[in-house]
């Protein structure tokens, strides 16, 4: 009877776990509904303050969109969904870095000329120009290499900037609400997968319990 009692104990634990998961799913769905409702309300406030045509599909190109959030399946963790986010990159950062590199190169060339005491300025200018051309070629090679490896970091932009630079706070709050909604959706999906796994485990143990009871009843009848 020890095995039978152990099966019953496991079944009780699975029932408690099942209802805990149901309670978490219910709470998260209520929170998701509230967040989506608040996000839509903030978008309405932003359209009211900026104008009906200022916040809409005309402000962005859907063909050139790059996702900042990605959902993948983690095979090492019970095939649960895993949410990863990318930070928007600034296109001007790379250009400023290139400009700074060129200025540094020119200053180094000037320092070397002064130390050596060279008087042929034409040849020095040609050397500096050739070095700048090499730098430009290297920049082109770098950009082509990034395109080949599909590194789209320079293309990622903050969606809030589609509607301007000085946007109302309602629009920023709406973006935060929908970002939170993505996290909640992923968490709810993981809870549902755990719920289905708990149900399947319960059904397997319940079948084992019924089989054990049938064997026990047959043994009593034969005796």
Separation between Cα atoms, residue 61 and residue 157, nearest integer Å? 12
Q: Element (H or E) spanning 82, and its range? A: strand 80-85
Q: What is the pLDDT of residues 174-215, one digit of tens each?
A: 989 999 999 999 999 999 999 999 999 999 999 988 888 887
Per-residue pLDDT band at 112 (split at 50, 70, 90) = very low
Q: Element (H or E) spanning 72, and its range? A: strand 69-74
Whether 159 contacts 60, CB under 8 Å: yes
Nearest to 36 by CA among 161, 191, 185: 185
Helix, strand, coil % in the chain, rounded to nearest 5: 75, 5, 20
pTM above 0.75, yes or no: no
User: Rounded mean pLDDT of 130-156?
Assistant: 55
Is the per-residue pLDDT at 119 higher than 50? no
Separation between Cα atoms, residue 139 and residue 94, nearest integer Å? 10
DSSP 104: H
């Amino acid at each position: 009877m020890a095995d039978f009692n152990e099966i019953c104990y496991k079944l009780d634990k699975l029932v408690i776990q099942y209802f805990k998961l149901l309670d978490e799913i219910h709470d998260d769905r209520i929170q998701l509904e509230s967040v989506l409702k608040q996000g839509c309300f903030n978008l309405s406030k932003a359209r009211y303050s900026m104008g009906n045509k200022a916040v809409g599909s005309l402000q962005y190109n859907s063909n050139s969109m790059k996702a900042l959030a990605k959902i993948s399946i983690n095979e090492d963790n019970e095939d649960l969904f895993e949410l990863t986010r990318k930070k928007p990159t600034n296109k001007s950062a790379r250009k400023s870095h290139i400009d700074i590199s060129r200025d540094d190169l020119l200053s180094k060339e000037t320092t070397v000329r002064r130390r050596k005491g060279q008087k042929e300025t034409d040849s020095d200018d040609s050397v500096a120009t050739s070095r700048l051309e090499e730098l430009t070629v290297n920049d082109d090679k770098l950009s082509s290499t990034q395109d080949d490896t599909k590194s789209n970091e320079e293309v990622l932009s903050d969606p809030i900037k589609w509607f301007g630079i000085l946007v109302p706070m309602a629009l920023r709050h709406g973006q935060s609400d929908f970002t939170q909604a993505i996290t909640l959706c992923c968490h709810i999906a993981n809870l549902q997968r755990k719920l289905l796994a708990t149900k399947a485990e319960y059904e397997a143990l319940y079948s084992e319990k019924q089989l054990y009871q049938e064997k026990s009843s047959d043994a009593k009848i034969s005796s």
